[in-house]
C-alpha cells in the first residue's frame, strides 16, 4: 500500500534537532495559527531559504498530529496566503512513532514576498524580522528586482559622448557609428538621460558624479613590547586614490597594488590572478547606490579588499562557493566582458563572464599552497560591506605551529597561539584548537577551567606512543 508519509527513526530525528533553529531551520508547534506561519515562510523565501518543521516544540519534543488531515488548514494557508506564491515550495509528512510532523521546504526566491497582511519579513539567525520601506528597497536591490545601474542621472550627455574613453572604446571595438547611437542601441540612455551604467563605463571621470573610486592603503603590522598585541599602523596619510572609468580603475589599481607589494618587499606572496579576480569582483558587484568607495588595505601578511554593499541574492559567507551567481550590475558585467574579449591572452582578460571569479580566487590560493580566502559581510558607516581577505599563510600553518609548540612545551593557550601564528582573531585560533581536538591530536588540560584559562596539551595517547608521525612536521 502506498504511503503519503515518510517514517523517520530516532537517529534521524536527532539529526534534525541537531540542526537547531538558525538561519536555515525552524521548529513550530502544531498549535500555531496558520496565518502566523506565513511570517516564517516569507522570511525564509526572502532570505536564503530553509525548512520549517511543524510538530516539534520549543523543547524539541515531538507533539505532532495523529493524522495528516490536521495540517490541512496550514497547507492551504502557505500555498494561498503568501503573495506572490513561493515557486517550488514543497511539503512532506514525516512520521515518528505515532506522531506526524509537517516538513515545509522553502527555496530562496528572487521575488519579494509578503504575508496576506502585506508584511515583509527576513530571517536573521534564529529570528524573523519585519522590515520597513527602506529595508524593503535594500532587499529589492539585493535580489536584483531594482538595479541602481539602470537609474538615470541629469547630466550633460557630452560628458559621455565626447569623452576620450568613448572615442578609444569605439575604435578598439571597430564600431563605426556615432557615440549617441551606440549608447541608445545598447540601452545606456533612457528618456534622453544617461543611465548610471553609462556614466561608470564611459565618462572619463565618473567620480565627479558618483562616488565610485578606489583607495589603496599601506599598513605596517607591528608587535607592541609591553604585552601581546598587534597594531596596524598606516605608513602614510597619502592614500593612493584612483579615478577614471571602471576599466581604467581596475587596471590602475592592479598596478598600484603590485607597486606597493614590491615596495614592501612582499611581491610574489599572493597570486596575481587571485588579486585581480578579487578586485574585479569588487568593482563589478559592489552596490553603487552606497556613497562609498572600494578600499584596499595592504599589510605585510594579509591583503583586504572592501566593497560597498552586502552579498547579492542568496549568497552568504557559508555558501559562497555553492550559491548560484547573481549579477548586481548585469549591464556593467556585460560591458566589461566585451572589453575583455578583445584580449587574445585569456589570462589578461579582466572578466570571463562565466561566474567563476570566486572559484578562481580559491583555486589560485590553493595552487600557491596558501590558506583559503575569507569572504565576510560586515556593517560599516555607510551600510553593509563585503570584505575579501587574502592571507599569506599556509592552509595548515596554524595547526602545524600549534603542534610544533606543543612538541617543545607542555601546553598552550589561545593567547600564546595567537602570538606564535601572528593571528589576531581569537575565534580563528579557537577553531584551530577545535579541529585539532576533533582529530584527536590535542586535549584540554583542565575541562573545568574558565574560558580565559583554557589550555591545551598533546593528547595522552600520542604522548605515550611517541609524537613522531602524527604531527606531520
- What is the rounded distance in angstroms from the CA atom of residue 26 to the CA atom of residue 311? 23
- What is the rounded distance in angstroms from the CA atom of residue 284 to the CA atom of residue 260? 23
Question: Which residues of the chain are in CATH 1.10.10.10 domains?
Answer: 397-464
Asked whether the CA dihedral 277, 364, 219, 431 is positive or negative, the reply is: positive
Q: What are phi and psi of 232, to 5 degrees?
A: -105, 110
Question: Which residues of the chain are in CATH 3.30.950.30 domains?
Answer: 6-143
Q: What is the pLDDT of residue 438?
A: 87
- What is the rounded distance in angstroms from the CA atom of residue 224 to the CA atom of residue 141? 44
Q: What is the pLDDT of residue 264?
A: 86
Question: What are the strands, taking DSSP E only, across 115-236?
Answer: 121-124, 127-130, 189-190, 193-194, 214-223, 230-234
- Residue 44 · residue 78 · CB < 8 Å: no
The grid coordinates of residue 71 equal 495540517
- Residue 56 · residue 17 · CB < 8 Å: yes
- What is the rounded distance in angstroms from the CA atom of residue 296 to the CA atom of residue 14? 45
The grid coordinates of residue 132 equal 520597513
- Residue 329 · residue 197 · CB < 8 Å: yes
Q: What is the pLDDT of residue 461?
A: 59
10-residue averages of pLDDT along the chain (473 residues): 77 81 82 94 93 91 92 93 93 94 94 95 89 92 91 95 96 95 96 96 95 90 46 60 90 92 86 93 92 91 92 85 81 90 75 73 87 87 87 76 91 90 80 88 89 87 48 40
Which pTM does this prediction carry? Answer: 0.75
Q: What is the pLDDT of residue 194?
A: 97
Residues in contact with 441: Cβ distance below 8 Å, sequence separation at least 6, in sequence order: 403, 458, 459, 462, 470, 471
The grid coordinates of residue 227 equal 604585552
Q: How far is CA 36 from CA 51, 116, 119, in A?
A: 16, 10, 11
Taking domain 214-243+257-328+338-391, whether its CATH number is 3.30.565 is answered by yes
Neighbours of 261 (CB within 10 A): 19
Level-2 CATH architecture, domain 397-464: Orthogonal Bundle (1.10)
Q: How far is CA 453 from CA 20, 414, 447, 450, in A?
A: 29, 9, 10, 5
- What is the rounded distance in angstroms from the CA atom of residue 178 to the CA atom of residue 182? 6
For residue 70, give the DSSP letter: G
DSSP string, 412-432: EEHHHHHHHHT---HHHHHHH
Please state which CATH class domain 6-143 belongs to: alpha beta
Q: For Cα atoms 83, 48, 46, give the angle at the middle one, nearest 5 degrees.
A: 25
Q: What is the pLDDT of residue 227?
A: 43
The grid coordinates of residue 363 equal 583555486
- Residue 52 · residue 106 · CB < 8 Å: yes
Q: What is the pLDDT of residue 470?
A: 41
Question: Which residues of the chain are in CATH 3.30.565 domains?
Answer: 214-243+257-328+338-391
What residues does 389 pair with on adjacent strands? 304, 374
Three-state helix/strand/coil letters over 106-142: ECCCCCCCECCCCCCEEEECCEEEECCHHHHHHHHHH
Amino acid at each position: 500500500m502506498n504511503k503519503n508519509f515518510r517514517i523517520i527513526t530516532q537517529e534521524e530525528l536527532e539529526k534534525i534537532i541537531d540542526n537547531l533553529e538558525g538561519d536555515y531551520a525552524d521548529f513550530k508547534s502544531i498549535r500555531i495559527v496558520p496565518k502566523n506561519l506565513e511570517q516564517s515562510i516569507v522570511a525564509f523565501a526572502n532570505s536564503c531559504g530553509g525548512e520549517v518543521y511543524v510538530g516539534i516544540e520549543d523543547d524539541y519534543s515531538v507533539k505532532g498530529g495523529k493524522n495528516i488531515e490536521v495540517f490541512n488548514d496550514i497547507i492551504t494557508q502557505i500555498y494561498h496566503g503568501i503573495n506572490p506564491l513561493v515557486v517550488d515550495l514543497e511539503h512532506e509528512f514525516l512520521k515518528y512513532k505515532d506522531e506526524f510532523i509537517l516538513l515545509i521546504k522553502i527555496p530562496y526566491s528572487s521575488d519579494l514576498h509578503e504575508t496576506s497582511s502585506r508584511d515583509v519579513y527576513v530571517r536573521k539567525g534564529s529570528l524573523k524580522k519585519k522590515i520597513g520601506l527602506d529595508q524593503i528597497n535594500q532587499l529589492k536591490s539585493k535580489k536584483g528586482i531594482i538595479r541602481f545601474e539602470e537609474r538615470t542621472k541629469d547630466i550633460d550627455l557630452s560628458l559621455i559622448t565626447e569623452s576620450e574613453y568613448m572615442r578609444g572604446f569605439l575604435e578598439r571595438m571597430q564600431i563605426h557609428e556615432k557615440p549617441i547611437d551606440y549608447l541608445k542601441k545598447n540601452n545606456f540612455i533612457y528618456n534622453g538621460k544617461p543611465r548610471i551604467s553609462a556614466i561608470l563605463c564611459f565618462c572619463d571621470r565618473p567620480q565627479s558624479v558618483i562616488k565610485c573610486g578606489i583607495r589603496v592603503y599601506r599598513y605596517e603590522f607591528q608587535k607592541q613590547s609591553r604585552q601581546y598585541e598587534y597594531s596596524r599602523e598606516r605608513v602614510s596619510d597619502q592614500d593612493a586614490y584612483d579615478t577614471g572609468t571602471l576599466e581604467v580603475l581596475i587596471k590602475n589599481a592592479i598596478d598600484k597594488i603590485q607597486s606597493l607589494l614590491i615596495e614592501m618587499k612582499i611581491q610574489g606572496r599572493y597570486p596575481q590572478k587571485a588579486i585581480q579576480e578579487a578586485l574585479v569582483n569588487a568593482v563589478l558587484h559592489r552596490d553603487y547606490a552606497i556613497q562609498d568607495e572600494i578600499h584596499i588595505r595592504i599589510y605585510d601578511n594579509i591583503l583586504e579588499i572592501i566593497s560597498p554593499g552586502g552579498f547579492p541574492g542568496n549568497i552568504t559567507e557559508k555558501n559562497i562557493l555553492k550559491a548560484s551567481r547573481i549579477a548586481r550590475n548585469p549591464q556593467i558585467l556585460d560591458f566589461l566582458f566585451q572589453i575583455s574579449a578583445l584580449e587574445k591572452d585569456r589570462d589578461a582578460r579582466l572578466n570571463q563572464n562565466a561566474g567563476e571569479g570566486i572559484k578562481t580566487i580559491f583555486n589560485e590560493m590553493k595552487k600557491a599552497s596558501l590558506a583559503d580566502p575569507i569572504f565576510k559581510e560586515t556593517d560599516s558607516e555607510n551600510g553593509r560591506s563585503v570584505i575579501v581577505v587574502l592571507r599569506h599563510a599556509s592552509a595548515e600553518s596554524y595547526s602545524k605551529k600549534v603542534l610544533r609548540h606543543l612538541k617543545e612545551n607542555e601546553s598552550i593557550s589561545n593567547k600564546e597561539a595567537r602570538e606564535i601564528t601572528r593571528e589576531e582573531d581569537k575565534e580563528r585560533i579557537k577553531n584551530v584548537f577545535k579541529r585539532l581536538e576533533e582529530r584527536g591530536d590535542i586535549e584540554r588540560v583542565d575541562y573545568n577551567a574558565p574560558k580565559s584559562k583554557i589550555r591545551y596539551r598533546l593528547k595522552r595517547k600520542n604522548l605515550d606512543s611517541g609524537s613522531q608521525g602524527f604531527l606531520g612536521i
